[in-house]
């Protein structure tokens, strides 16, 4: 679905205002530091109740203010308009969806989610394994709210298990380990589904843009034996206990799963150029949006795209790759809304159409 308008109060350097966003594509043109990315962050915040920059609520209010407010509106599948309102005052957050308090942020995921394309995504391609796990956990949570609950339960038991190891409370492991394995197996099962859906899309889309001439594929490597049953995994976990007691931490489980990119049987991450890895992160985000849209279509019969937030992502692509990358995004008549940020010198007019909303951004003010 698409945001039709948003209202901002004391949000970073942005002017207090209501901004019309009722278009399939919205272009934000301005120099660095003027507020383009801040608006994308505000839209993301309205989608998920938090920032894609991390836990920074205390840094968001404008100078001298102790809180901020956001309100977003979008059309659902009826003639009605939904609204999300978020207020943060003195570090206390209040989120309301159509006037009703939201107790758990996961309630927002199925309403009007967004996918952000930003420079930090580079870490999904080139960073540490836990960063790739974070990305795929995020994707899994978008298509399955159950996954969010299972991941929370797994992390809770993992924390308890680590505490038992550190405090020499080994008797507790007999109680915790069956829960640990059960939740872990449920995570692995959903990750296998996510892997299959990404692997179906990623290699061909990456090749379409990169024209590398050889496939780049995704690899999922569970830490526990793949295909093993409950009892077999439980025995595997128990076999690690001696070394875990010495080290005081849990050495096996889905929190140590690995997601890799491979080409020709070798690690693509180790051999690819910076530009090739940047493109990996962009295509990952495209596939994330496609998988979400396909999931909603399978459940409801209607394809619903997440809102796409693209922050200066075209800047690092040459002309050919820019064109081919844009071909991966849903078209303007497919019901997907996309926000793009551009520097003034970029050829943004080549990507605009008669239906594109264009704002010049200057010191937090949006001028159409």
Predicted confidence (pLDDT) per residue in 254-302, tens digit: 999 999 999 998 999 999 999 999 999 999 999 999 999 999 999 888 8
Looking at the structure, tell me whether residues 150 and 292 fall in a common domain.
yes
Looking at the structure, tell me whether residues 283 and 198 fall in a common domain.
yes
pLDDT in tens, 134-188: 999 999 999 999 999 999 999 999 999 999 999 999 999 999 999 999 999 999 9
Residue where a domain terminates, one of 304, 328, 347:
304
What's the rounded Cα separation, in Å, for the pair 240 and 199?
31
192 neighbors 203 (Cβ within 8 angstroms): no
For residues 303-330, give the mean pLDDT: 91
With left for phi above 0 and alpha for psi between -120 and 50, is residue 136 left, alpha or beta? alpha
Looking at the structure, tell me whether residues 200 and 54 fall in a common domain.
no
Output the domain CATH number for residue 238. Answer: 1.20.1050.90
Looking at the structure, tell me whether residues 184 and 299 fall in a common domain.
yes
pLDDT in tens, 40-55: 999 999 999 999 987 6
Looking at the structure, tell me whether residues 93 and 128 fall in a common domain.
no
DSSP string, 47-71: HHSS-TT-S-GGG-BPTT-SEEEEE
% of residues, the chain, pLDDT over 70: 98
The pTM of the whole model exceeds 0.85: yes
Residue where a domain terminates, one of 250, 284, 304:
304
> Structural domain tally of the chain?
2
Segments forming the whole domain that contains residue 144: 122-304
Looking at the structure, tell me whether residues 329 and 282 fall in a common domain.
no
CB neighbours of residue 314 within 10 Å: 21
Output the domain CATH number for residue 330. Answer: 3.40.50.300
% of residues, the chain, pLDDT over 90: 79
CB neighbours of residue 77 within 10 Å: 9
């Amino acid at each position: 679905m698409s945001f039709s308008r948003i209202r901002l109060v004391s949000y970073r350097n942005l002017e207090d205002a209501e901004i019309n966003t009722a278009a399939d594509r919205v272009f934000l043109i301005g120099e660095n530091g003027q507020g383009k990315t801040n608006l994308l962050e505000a839209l993301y915040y309205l989608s998920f109740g938090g920032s894609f920059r991390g836990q920074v609520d205390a840094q968001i209010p404008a100078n001298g203010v102790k809180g901020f407010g956001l309100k977003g509106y979008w059309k659902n599948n009826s003639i009605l308009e939904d609204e999300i309102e978020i207020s943060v005052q003195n570090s206390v957050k209040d989120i309301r969806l159509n006037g009703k308090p939201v107790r758990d942020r996961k309630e927002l995921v199925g309403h009007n989610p967004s996918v952000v394309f930003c420079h930090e995504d580079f870490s999904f391609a080139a960073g540490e394994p836990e960063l790739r796990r974070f990305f795929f956990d995020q994707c899994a949570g978008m298509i399955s709210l159950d996954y969010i609950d299972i991941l929370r339960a797994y992390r809770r038991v993992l924390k308890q298990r680590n505490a038992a190891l550190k405090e020499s409370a080994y008797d507790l492991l007999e109680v915790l380990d069956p829960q640990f394995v059960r939740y872990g197996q449920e995570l692995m099962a959903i990750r296998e589904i996510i892997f299959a859906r990404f692997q179906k899309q990623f290699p061909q889309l990456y090749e379409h843009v990169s024209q590398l001439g050889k496939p780049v594929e995704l690899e999922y490597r569970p830490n526990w034996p793949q295909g093993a049953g409950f009892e077999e995994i439980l025995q595997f976990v128990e076999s690690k206990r001696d070394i875990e007691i010495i080290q005081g931490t849990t050495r096996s489980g889905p929190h140590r799963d690995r997601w890799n990119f491979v080409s020709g049987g070798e690690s693509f991450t180790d051999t690819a150029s910076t530009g090739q890895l940047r493109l990996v992160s962009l295509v990952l985000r495209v596939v994330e949006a496609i998988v979400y849209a396909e999931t909603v279509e399978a459940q409801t019969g209607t394809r619903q795209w997440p809102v796409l937030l693209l922050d200066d992502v075209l800047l690092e692509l040459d002309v050919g790759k820019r064109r081919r990358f844009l071909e991966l995004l849903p078209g303007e008549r497919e019901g997907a809304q996309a926000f793009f940020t551009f520097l003034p010198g970029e050829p943004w007019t080549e990507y605009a159409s008669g239906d594109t909303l264009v704002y010049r951004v200057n010191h937090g003010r949006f001028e159409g």
